[in-house]
Amino acid sequence: MSIKRECLSSNAEWRQKRKAFGDHAFVGSGIRRDAPLSENERRLIKEIAELRKANEILKDALGFSPKTGNGKAGAAV
């Protein structure tokens, strides 16, 4: 029974915090998924995607192998 009382107490505390602080009551990781991105953040996300794509193209062109850590897997050096 003490568990139920603790839960009710916690729920009451959460409701009070939510009422007092609104959306800022429980910040979690601090990253709001519903907040709009700034122009700089959108630019960086686009740049990261382009760099990842270019990196994959370069890996394919070099025949990169994660096992050997260098290009042309299995080729004699």
pLDDT in tens, 1-17: 455 655 556 888 878 88
What are the tokens at 45?
């996300």
Q: Are 68 and 77 in contact (CB under 8 A)?
A: no
Amino acid making up residue 56 = E
* Phi, psi (deg, nearest 5) at residue 40: -65, -40
Q: Which residues contact 37 (CB under 8 A, 6 or more apart)?
A: 45
Please tell me the distance from the alpha carbon of residue 12 to that of residue 6, in angstroms, as a whole number: 10
Q: Per-residue confidence at 58, pLDDT binned at 50, 70, 90?
A: very high
| pTM of the predicted model as reported, rounded to 2 decimal places | 0.41
